[in-house]
Amino acid sequence: MLNLVETFSEFKDGKNIDRPTMVRVLEDVFRTLIKKKFGSDENFDVIVNTQKGDLELWRVREIVPDGEVADEKSQISISEAISIDADYEVGEECYEQLQLEDFGRRSIMAARQTLISRIMDLEKEEVFKKYNDRLGEIVTAEVHQILKKEILIVDDATGNELILPKTEMIKGDYYRKGDLVKAVIKSVEMRNNNPTVIASRTDSLFLEKLLEQEVPEIEDGLISIRKIVRMPGERAKVAVESFDDRIDPVGACVGMKGSRIHGIVRELNNENIDIVNYTNNLQLYIQRALTPAKVTSINVNQDKKHVKVFLEPEQVSLAIGKGGTNIKLAGLLTGFEIDVFRNNEEFEIDDVDLEEFSDEIEGWVIDALKGIGCDTARSVLTLSKEELIRRTDLETETIEDVLAVLAAEFEE
C-alpha cells in the first residue's frame, strides 16, 4: 500500500520550503483524513518528524468504566483500553496509535494527491516570492531552449527556468543552447497558476546594475545614477551625480582608459554609452545631454518643455546622431523637446556625422573620406561615385558599399 510518509520524504528534500510550513501542510492533510473517517479531529494528535520524514497518529480518549461511555469520540471503556495496554486505569487518558492502513487505500491515494498538490503549490509560491524579492537583480543563466518568440534560460544560482523574450533582447544578440547569458529580472507573474519570471537585456535597469557591478563608488553610494535612457544596442545616456566633491562621477564610471565602461559596452553589443554629469542647471544639463556635440547657445521654454539649441554647422550632425538617436535620447534624459538650429536658422535634421557609421563602415574608409573633406553623410552623397573613387583612391566596390549605407540612412 502506498505510504503518505514516503511521498512527504520525496518532496521535503531539495525544496526551498521552510520546515514549519511543511509540517503545517502535512498535519492539515492528515487531519482531513482523520475527519473523513472519524467525523472530527478534536481528540487526535498528529506528530510530524521532518528530520526522519515520518509521523505518528494518536487517538486520545478518556478511560471510563464499562457501560458508561457517553461519547465514543472522547471516551473509551476500561476493558477496551486494557486491550491496548494492560496498565491503563479508569480516569487516565488512553493513547491509541493509528496506522495508515486503517484509513483504506482509496483515502490514502486521495490524501497523497492532495499532499503532492499542496507541496507543489507551496513551491510555486516560494519561487514567485523569491524572484519577486529579486526584481532588478542581474542573473547569469544558461540557454536551455530556443523558441520562436522567446528563449528559456536556467538560472545558475537556483536552477529555476526563466523566460527571455525576443523583445527583451538587444539587436545582435545570438545564442545557442548551452550559452551563458546575463540579464536583469524584470518581472514575475503567475500564468496558469505557474510563476513566470521575465528577464530582460533591454531594460534600463540592466545597464544600471551593470554599472553598479563595475563601479564600486555607485554600490557604495558615493555616486548616484539619476536617470538612464536607452535605445538598446545603439546608444544610451546615463546621468550621474557625485556626493563627494573629490570624486568625478563621469571619470569614475568610465574608468582609467575606459576600463570600466568597455566591459559594459561589450556586454551590450557595442552600445554607445554617454555618461553625463547631472546638474540642476537646466541649460548646462541639456548641453551635457547633447554630448558629443558642443552647443553654442540654448533658448529654454520651461512652460512648453521646449528647447532651441544653436550650434556651429559642423556640430549639428553630432548633436543629431545617426538616425536621430543622440537628440532623441537627450530629449528623454532631460524631459524637453529639443530643436536644433544653425546660424540662427532652423536646421533640417537630415545630416549625420560619418563617425556614426563606424559599425557599418570601416575606420580606414571613413578616414579616407574625411581626407577629402567629407565629414558627414550628405557631404559624401553630394559627390558622384566616379569623383569619390578618383579623389579617395578607394576601390569601386568599397565606394558603392559606402554610398548604399549612407543613402539608406535617409530613406523613409
Q: What is the CATH number of the domain that holds 76?
A: 3.30.1480
Whether 69 and 159 map to the same domain: the answer is: no
Instruction: Give a yes or no: residue 385 inside a domain.
Output: yes
**131, 159, 177 - which closes a domain:** 131
Whether 289 and 343 map to the same domain: the answer is: yes
**167, 182, 202 - which closes a domain:** 202
Q: Distance of alpha carbon 215 from its chain centroid, rounded?
A: 20
Please tell me the pTM assigned to this model: 0.66
| Residue 176, pLDDT score | 92
Whether 390 and 316 map to the same domain: the answer is: no
Q: Distance of alpha carbon 178 from its chain centroid, rounded?
A: 20
Instruction: Give a yes or no: residue 34 inside a domain.
Output: yes
User: What are the average pLDDT values for consecutive 10-residue runs of the chain, which has 412 residues?
Assistant: 52 59 80 85 80 76 88 88 88 87 79 80 85 92 93 90 94 91 94 90 95 92 94 94 90 90 92 92 90 87 86 86 90 92 58 82 88 81 85 89 86 60
Instruction: Give a yes or no: residue 333 inside a domain.
Output: yes
How is residue 344 written as a grid cell? 540662427
Q: How many CB atoms lie within 10 A of CB 215?
A: 23
Whether 166 and 119 map to the same domain: the answer is: no
Instruction: Give a yes or no: residue 216 inside a domain.
Output: no
Instruction: Give a yes or no: residue 100 inside a domain.
Output: yes
| Residue 232, pLDDT score | 93
Question: What torsion do the CA atoms of 83, 87, 91, 97 make, to the nearest 10 degrees?
Answer: -50
Whether 8 and 122 map to the same domain: the answer is: yes
How is residue 384 written as a grid cell? 558622384
**Cβ-contact 134, 127 below 8 angstroms:** no
Whether 385 and 292 map to the same domain: the answer is: no
**103, 131, 159 - which closes a domain:** 131
Domain around 79: 4-131
The position carrying cell 524579492 is: 133
Residues 22 and 313: their CA atoms lie apart, in Å, by 72
C-alpha separations of 295 from 169, 356, 374 in Å:
34, 18, 22
Residues 100 and 55: their CA atoms lie apart, in Å, by 10
Whether 369 and 329 map to the same domain: the answer is: no
Whether 125 and 146 map to the same domain: the answer is: no
DSSP secondary structure of 346-410: EPPS---BGGGGTTTS-HHHHHHHHTTT--BHHHHHTS-HHHHHHHH---HHHHHHHHHHHHHHT
All residues at 6 or more sequence positions from 379 whose CB lies less than 8 Å from its CB, including other chains? 373
- Please state the domain count of the chain: 4
Whether 285 and 366 map to the same domain: the answer is: no
**Cβ-contact 275, 238 below 8 angstroms:** yes
Whether 9 and 106 map to the same domain: the answer is: yes
